[in-house]
Structure 1
Amino acid sequence: MDNLYWNIFEKTGSIEAFLYLNDLKKIDEENNQTREIDSNYDNLEYPRDSS
Protein backbone atom coordinates (compact mmCIF):
# COMPACT_ATOMS: atom_id res chain seq x y z
CA MET A 1 0.00 0.00 0.00
CA ASP A 2 2.87 2.37 0.77
CA ASN A 3 4.17 1.78 -2.74
CA LEU A 4 0.85 3.02 -4.15
CA TYR A 5 1.10 6.21 -2.10
CA TRP A 6 4.69 6.71 -3.21
CA ASN A 7 3.67 6.29 -6.86
CA ILE A 8 0.96 8.93 -6.41
CA PHE A 9 3.56 11.26 -4.89
CA GLU A 10 5.94 10.67 -7.80
CA LYS A 11 3.22 11.40 -10.38
CA THR A 12 1.68 14.42 -8.67
CA GLY A 13 4.79 15.84 -7.03
CA SER A 14 2.60 16.82 -4.10
CA ILE A 15 3.99 15.88 -0.70
CA GLU A 16 0.69 17.04 0.82
CA ALA A 17 -1.17 14.32 -1.10
CA PHE A 18 1.32 11.70 0.08
CA LEU A 19 1.04 12.80 3.73
CA TYR A 20 -2.77 13.01 3.50
CA LEU A 21 -3.02 9.45 2.21
CA ASN A 22 -0.64 8.20 4.91
CA ASP A 23 -2.75 9.92 7.58
CA LEU A 24 -5.90 8.30 6.19
CA LYS A 25 -4.22 4.90 6.35
CA LYS A 26 -3.19 5.46 9.98
CA ILE A 27 -6.69 6.58 10.95
CA ASP A 28 -8.19 3.52 9.25
CA GLU A 29 -5.77 1.22 11.09
CA GLU A 30 -6.65 2.86 14.42
CA ASN A 31 -10.37 2.43 13.73
CA ASN A 32 -9.89 -1.23 12.93
CA GLN A 33 -8.03 -1.78 16.20
CA THR A 34 -10.61 -0.19 18.48
CA ARG A 35 -12.64 -2.63 20.49
CA GLU A 36 -16.39 -2.43 20.22
CA ILE A 37 -18.42 -3.00 23.35
CA ASP A 38 -21.03 -5.70 23.00
CA SER A 39 -24.41 -3.98 23.15
CA ASN A 40 -25.97 -7.09 24.70
CA TYR A 41 -23.77 -6.80 27.78
CA ASP A 42 -25.61 -5.14 30.65
CA ASN A 43 -24.42 -4.51 34.14
CA LEU A 44 -26.92 -6.46 36.23
CA GLU A 45 -26.83 -3.98 39.08
CA TYR A 46 -27.42 -1.01 36.77
CA PRO A 47 -29.34 -2.11 33.66
CA ARG A 48 -28.29 -0.43 30.39
CA ASP A 49 -25.00 0.73 31.94
CA SER A 50 -22.20 -1.21 30.27
CA SER A 51 -19.39 0.53 32.15
Structure 2
Amino acid sequence: MAFSVYVGIMAVVGLISLILFFLSGYYAYLVSAATFWFCAWMVGRGRI
Protein backbone atom coordinates (compact mmCIF):
# COMPACT_ATOMS: atom_id res chain seq x y z
CA MET A 1 0.00 0.00 0.00
CA ALA A 2 2.59 2.53 1.10
CA PHE A 3 4.91 1.46 -1.73
CA SER A 4 2.28 2.16 -4.39
CA VAL A 5 1.63 5.59 -2.86
CA TYR A 6 5.37 6.28 -2.91
CA VAL A 7 5.63 5.29 -6.58
CA GLY A 8 2.65 7.50 -7.40
CA ILE A 9 4.29 10.45 -5.65
CA MET A 10 7.53 9.82 -7.55
CA ALA A 11 5.63 9.80 -10.86
CA VAL A 12 3.77 13.03 -10.09
CA VAL A 13 6.86 14.86 -8.86
CA GLY A 14 8.86 13.62 -11.82
CA LEU A 15 6.22 14.93 -14.22
CA ILE A 16 6.08 18.29 -12.42
CA SER A 17 9.87 18.59 -12.52
CA LEU A 18 9.87 17.91 -16.28
CA ILE A 19 7.21 20.59 -16.80
CA LEU A 20 9.20 23.05 -14.70
CA PHE A 21 12.33 22.20 -16.66
CA PHE A 22 10.69 23.06 -19.97
CA LEU A 23 8.89 26.15 -18.66
CA SER A 24 11.43 27.79 -16.41
CA GLY A 25 14.76 26.23 -17.26
CA TYR A 26 17.53 24.55 -15.38
CA TYR A 27 17.28 26.41 -12.06
CA ALA A 28 13.65 25.47 -11.47
CA TYR A 29 14.50 21.86 -12.35
CA LEU A 30 17.28 21.80 -9.75
CA VAL A 31 14.98 23.21 -7.07
CA SER A 32 12.24 20.68 -7.81
CA ALA A 33 14.74 17.81 -7.89
CA ALA A 34 16.22 18.88 -4.55
CA THR A 35 12.72 19.10 -3.06
CA PHE A 36 11.89 15.64 -4.39
CA TRP A 37 15.01 14.02 -2.98
CA PHE A 38 14.46 15.71 0.40
CA CYS A 39 10.89 14.36 0.51
CA ALA A 40 12.08 10.92 -0.56
CA TRP A 41 14.71 10.97 2.19
CA MET A 42 12.11 11.97 4.79
CA VAL A 43 9.77 9.19 3.62
CA GLY A 44 12.64 6.72 3.76
CA ARG A 45 13.35 7.71 7.35
CA GLY A 46 9.66 7.29 8.22
CA ARG A 47 9.12 10.94 9.13
CA ILE A 48 6.12 11.35 6.80
TM-score range for the pair, normalised by the shorter chain length: 0.5 to 0.7
**Structure 2 residues without counterparts, runs of 5 or longer:** 1-11
Scaled by the length of structure 1, the TM-score of the pair is: 0.55
User: Normalized per residue, which structure has more helix?
Assistant: 2
Scaled by the length of structure 2, the TM-score of the pair is: 0.58
Structure with the larger RCO, 1 or 2 (CA within 8 Å, 6+ apart): 2
**Quick one: percent identity of the two aligned structures?**
9
The count of residues paired between Structure 1 and Structure 2 equals 35
RMSD: 1.7
After TM superposition, the runs of 4+ consecutive aligned structure 1 residues lying more than 6 A away are none
* Greater radius of gyration (CA): 1
**Structure 1 residues without counterparts, runs of 5 or longer:** 37-51
